[in-house]
Structures are given as structure tokens and as C-alpha cells.
């Protein structure tokens, strides 16, 4: 197997006769040139940075030096050093600058550039002077004597007056050239290893793609929410309106039909159509309640409390801001799932929902006075919600000792968006459909401390209805 870098080449018997000594010398020589140029550029930019004019160029000079160094690395390292920088998600100089300033690779490259301009290139010159300059000076002794005609001073220290002495010095220079090729290649290998450590992407095993995995999961959640809203709009504007028209037609036919079996059948069909319409409205509400899109999380939680089978006391901030759609949806369905489990499994007489947005974190707490001993592993509802909340960098915790009480706590970091951002997001992601016949528009409940009356049955979303055990 052929060597891939100078350190591997040093162990081969044919090292002095191969190309690696010349590669090492070329790498150090070009390093001295690039370092000297970088030193000059940094001095100029440093002067301009005193007036803040050259500061951006000074900060971004690191990626430029890093690109040149990765190209030079090919002289002594046959393994490619890929560019560690990511491609901007949006076109334009502003997006490129924002991405580069936030990358660790940019600051590593800047540190390497400063190190090259101040320390490394003088060391490269010293290594070249010892490893090549000294042997070459000895090899040129006969030529110096021939030019002078009488004497030649070798290395400014040893006086040579005869050709036998001059050729002996040249022979010593040839031997030194071979011997010093080994430490010269070792120095080049160390320089290349330092450059690769700072300028090439860092390999950290499974952690490499964690950022991209998190981003892709967030995109999947956004796509899932958009699809839920599309289905809700299609059902509301399509199937529900057709069912309303069918119910009206059956009602009119029932009125026109004479008493008898036909009228009885029409009455039965009219009642069935009305039941289907009611179930469809419940399904639409469970997919994505319109009150959540129109009025936000506080009003949606108040609506869910009204539908709960257990009386629910609300403690929701009156100034709870509009939050990103994914955060509001996760908080709402977490509350719905908790209320559904309370109604099915807890035996509680009272529940309480607390919602706050403090220090850029949404905190949602659902408590009940039931029997406790809740085990999320026995059902999939809260487990799925925990995964969904984790995508938003949030946490879902349950404290449920035997005998109660049970406390479910959700925390999702989310800085409150501005009013314009909220309006733009809601307009882009939701369209408010016109209310169907016999269906009044949702009104915003007052987010104050109150108790919601018990309902005859609990309403749950598709996610909450999937729980088979106490979560």
C-alpha cells in the first residue's frame, strides 16, 4: 500500500529516492510564502480595523486562508480534506454571511490563519534553512571556490582554500541532504496534521448529522401540520357543506311527504344525516380546531376544557401571546390528551390547566386529583406527544405517585413572535372557512381563572383517542 502522508513514507526504505522529500520541502516553502502574505494582509486589515472598516474582512479572511491551506494540503496528504462549511439555505450575500459567522469552522479557520501569520511561517523558514539551506550551502563549496579563485567561506564560518577540502564539504552536504530529509518530512507531516485538525470537518461519529436530523424532523412536523390543516379545510369546505345540503333536502322532503312508511324512512334518514354531520364536525375539530388558528392557544385550551368530562379550572395568562403554529399545536394536543386520559382513567373530580409564557418558554401544566399511578409506557398517546415536543426542543414530564395527584408538565422554548410575524404565519398556514349552517363561529373564551362545567362525554383528537391505557 502506497503511503498517504509523510509519516507513513518515513517508514519506507525508498523514502530518500521517492517524491516525499520534495513534497515536504514544497509544502513548507509554500507555507512560508502564504504565511508571509497572510501576515502582511493581517497587518493592513488590523490598521483599518481600528476604524471598523476592515473588521468584517478581518473576520472573513479565515475562510479564504482555510481554502488555500486545504489545497496546499494535497502536497503532503493524499486523503482529501473537504470543505467543512455548509451551503446556505437561501441565496444572497446576507444569508451567506449569517451562516459563516455562526459556524465553528469559520472561527477555527480564523485561528489557524492568525497562527500561520505569526508563528507557523517563521518555523517553516527555519526548517527549510536547516533541512535544505545547510546542505545546499555545503554542496556549493566547489562552485564558490571556483568563482573566487583563492578561497571560499562555507556557512560564514569555515574557510576552504583547496579543491580537496571543497569537494569534501560538498560530499558532507550531499550526506546531510539525505539525512535531514527525514526530520524535514516529519516537520511537514506535523504541519499537515495541525492543518487538517483545524481546517477539515471534525469526525464525531453518530453526532455528525444530529443537527441535520433535528432540522429534518422539524420540517416533517411542519409538513404534518400543514397537511392536517389542508384536510381540515377540505372537510369543512367540501364534505361538511354537502352533508348540510343533504340534511336540508331530506328535511324538506320529510315535510312534503304524506304520513306513512315513506315519511318514517325520510325522518330516519334525516336523523342519520344529522348524526353524521355532528360526528364530522367533531372530527374536523379534532384534526385542527379553528379556534386554535383564529384565537391562539389560550382560547383553544378553554374550548377543550368546556368539552372535558371532568370540571376543569383554567389559569391562563391573559396576555398569553400568539406563538409559532407548531408550538401552539403541540401545547393544545398535549392538553387535550391529558384531559382525555383524566376523563378515562383517573377517576378525578377536578382538573386544572395552567399556561404561562415566561422568559421565552411556554409552560403548560395539567393537574388532577385522581388516583395517580399513571404509566406512560402503558399507552402510546403521551409517548407520541413527547416525541413531537422533543422535535421543538421541549420536554414532557409526568409526576403521578400512587394515590395522586397527577401532574403533567410541558415546557417548550419559543420566543414570542412579533405581531406581524404571527399575522403572516397564520395567513400563510390557515384559511378561515365560512361557518356551516347551524354552526356558530368560534368565540374567544375569556382566558381567566374559571371552572368549566362537566360535559356529557369527553371530546378527543385522533391523537388522544389512540390511547389504550392510562398515559
Q: What local confidence, expressed as pLDDT, does residue 82 receive?
A: 83
Per CATH, the architecture of 291-453+460-471 is what? 2-Layer Sandwich (3.30)
Distance between CA atoms of residues 314 and 305, nearest Å: 8
Q: What local confidence, expressed as pLDDT, does residue 213 receive?
A: 63
Residue 353: beta bridge partners? 314, 366
Q: What local confidence, expressed as pLDDT, does residue 370 receive?
A: 85
Residue whose cell numbers read 356529557: 456
Could you tell me the CA-to-CA distances from 3 to 15, 46, 266, 341, 387 in Å, in that order?
Answer: 10, 41, 89, 65, 48
Domain boundaries, the chain: 6-202, 209-288, 291-453+460-471
Can you list the residues of the chain whose pLDDT is less than 70? 49-55, 202-229, 232-237, 281-288, 376-382, 416-471
Bridge-based pairing state of the strands 395-399 and 406-413: antiparallel
Tell me if 185 sits within 8 A of 10, measured CB to CB: yes
Dihedral sign for Cα 69, 71, 76, 80, please: positive
Q: State percent of the chain over pLDDT 90.
A: 16
**Cis peptide leading into residue 57 (ω within 30°):** no
Q: What is the pLDDT of residues 191-220, one digit of tens each?
A: 999 999 888 876 544 444 565 566 666 666
Q: What is the pLDDT of residues 81-110, one digit of tens each?
A: 888 888 777 777 788 888 888 888 888 999
Q: What local confidence, expressed as pLDDT, does residue 426 receive?
A: 52
What is the four-CA torsion angle of 57, 63, 66, 67, rounded to 10 degrees? -110
Amino acid at each position: 500500500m502506497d503511503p498517504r502522508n509523510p509519516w507513513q513514507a518515513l517508514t519506507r526504505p525508498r523514502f530518500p529516492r521517492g517524491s516525499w522529500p520534495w513534497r515536504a520541502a514544497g509544502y513548507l516553502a509554500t507555507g512560508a510564502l502564504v504565511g508571509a502574505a497572510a501576515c502582511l494582509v493581517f497587518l493592513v486589515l488590523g490598521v483599518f480595523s481600528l476604524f471598523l472598516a476592515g473588521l468584517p474582512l478581518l473576520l472573513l479572511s479565515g475562510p479564504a486562508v482555510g481554502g488555500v491551506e486545504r489545497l496546499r494540503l494535497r502536497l503532503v496528504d493524499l486523503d482529501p480534506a473537504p470543505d467543512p462549511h455548509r451551503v446556505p439555505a437561501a441565496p444572497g450575500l446576507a444569508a451567506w454571511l449569517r451562516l459563516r459567522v455562526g459556524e465553528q469552522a469559520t472561527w477555527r479557520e480564523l485561528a489557524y490563519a492568525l497562527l500561520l501569520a505569526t508563528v507557523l511561517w517563521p518555523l517553516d523558514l527555519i526548517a527549510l534553512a536547516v533541512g535544505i539551506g545547510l546542505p545546499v550551502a555545503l554542496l556549493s563549496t566547489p562552485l564558490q571556490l571556483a568563482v573566487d579563485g583563492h578561497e571560499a567561506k562555507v556557512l560564514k564560518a569555515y574557510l576552504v582554500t583547496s579543491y580537496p577540502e571543497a569537494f569534501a564539504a560538498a560530499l558532507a552536504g550531499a550526506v546531510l541532504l539525505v539525512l535531514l530529509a527525514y526530520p524535514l518530512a516529519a516537520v511537514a507531516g506535523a504541519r499537515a496534521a495541525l492543518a487538517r485538525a483545524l481546517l477539515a470537518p471534525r469526525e464525531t461519529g453518530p453526532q455528525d448529522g444530529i443537527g441535520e436530523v433535528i432540522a429534518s424532523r422539524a420540517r416533517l412536523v411542519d409538513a404534518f401540520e400543514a397537511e392536517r390543516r389542508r384536510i381540515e379545510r377540505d372537510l369543512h369546505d367540501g364534505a361538511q357543506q354537502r352533508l348540510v345540503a343533504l340534511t336540508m333536502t331530506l328535511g324538506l322532503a320529510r315535510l312534503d311527504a304524506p304520513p306513512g312508511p315513506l315519511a318514517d324512512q325520510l325522518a330516519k334518514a334525516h336523523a342519520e344525516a344529522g348524526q353524521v354531520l355532528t360526528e364530522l364536525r367533531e372530527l374536523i375539530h379534532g384534526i385542527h380546531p379553528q379556534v386554535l388558528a383564529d384565537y391562539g392557544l389560550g382560547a383553544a385550551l378553554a374550548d377543550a376544557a368546556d368539552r372535558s368530562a371532568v370540571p376543569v379550572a383554567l389559569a391562563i395568562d391573559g396576555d398569553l401571546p400568539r406563538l409559532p403554529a407548531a408550538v401552539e399545536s403541540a401545547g393544545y394536543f398535549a392538553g387535550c390528551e391529558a384531559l382525555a386520559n383524566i376523563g378515562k382513567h383517573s377517576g378525578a373530580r377536578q382538573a386544572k390547566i395552567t399556561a404561562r409564557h415566561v422568559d421565552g418558554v411556554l409552560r403548560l401544566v395539567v393537574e388532577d386529583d385522581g388516583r395517580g399511578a399513571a404509566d406512560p409506557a402503558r399507552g402510546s398517546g403521551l409517548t407520541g406527544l413527547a416525541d413531537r415536543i422533543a422535535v421543538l426542543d421541549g420536554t414532557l414530564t409526568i409526576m403521578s405517585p400512587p394515590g395522586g395527584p397527577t401532574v403533567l408538565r410541558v415546557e417548550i422554548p419559543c420566543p414570542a413572535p412579533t405581531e406581524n410575524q404571527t399575522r403572516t404565519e397564520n395567513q400563510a398556514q390557515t384559511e378561515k372557512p365560512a361557518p356551516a349552517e347551524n354552526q356558530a363561529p368560534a368565540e374567544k373564551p375569556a382566558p381567566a381563572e374559571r371552572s368549566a362545567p362537566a360535559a356529557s362525554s369527553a371530546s378527543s383528537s385522533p391523537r388522544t383517542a389512540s390511547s389504550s391505557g392510562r398515559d
